């Protein structure tokens, strides 16, 4: 049994260091990408507060034009997102983190959960290619900041070879 949780009273940088360490421990020597994404989604939901969705959208080999829903924690979600559309598709197309304080102000936002107010999406890049994005939604406006972006970017880099 695994019992990963952030240290009581930890600040964001420490929480993210612990999150990355837990993700590396859980995915060590596990070759199944879906299992690794599922455990990472569960870890994100455990370590971070004020989320209503945490998970992955994947690029399927042979279909580089869309993201397909992967493991997640939250309400049912959109299954396919065209690269370049919405926050997730924009992150995949630009290969850049998207930190959106108000999703309703984001042009072309795809609303899978009407309760979402802010979003953080980080591309996962392996061998120079986007293989997935990590998507976090919150019911709070401006929930995510530069510490969150840096922390999820560190997670994406750490697990890129394992998903």
pLDDT, one tens digit per residue, over 105-118 is 887 777 777 789 99
Do residues 157 and 22 lie in contact, with contact meaning Cβ atoms separated by under 8 Å?
A: no
pLDDT bucket at 2, cuts 50 / 70 / 90: low
H or E segment and range at residue 114: none
CATH superfamily of domain region 12-162? GAF domain (3.30.450.40)
Residues in the chain: 163
Specify the residue for token string 């997670």: 155
- Nearest alpha carbon to residue 43 among 1, 5, 97: 5
Tell me, what's the pLDDT at 106?
A: 84
């Amino acid at each position: 049994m695994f019992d990963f949780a952030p240290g009581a009273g930890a600040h964001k940088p420490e929480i993210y260091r612990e999150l990355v360490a837990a993700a590396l421990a859980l995915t060590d020597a596990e070759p199944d990408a879906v299992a690794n994404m599922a455990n990472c989604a569960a870890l994100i939901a455990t370590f971070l507060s004020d989320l209503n969705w945490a998970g992955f959208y994947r690029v399927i080999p042979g279909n580089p034009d869309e993201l397909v829903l992967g493991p997640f924690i939250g309400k049912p979600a959109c299954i396919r997102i065209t690269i370049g559309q919405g926050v997730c598709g924009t992150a995949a197309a630009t290969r850049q983190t998207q930190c959106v304080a108000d999703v309703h102000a984001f042009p072309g936002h795809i609303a899978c959960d009407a309760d979402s107010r802010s979003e953080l999406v980080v591309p996962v890049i392996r061998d120079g290619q986007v293989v997935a994005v990590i998507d976090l939604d919150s019911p709070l406006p401006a929930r995510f900041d530069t510490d969150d972006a840096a922390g999820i970017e560190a997670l994406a880099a750490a697990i890129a070879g394992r998903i």
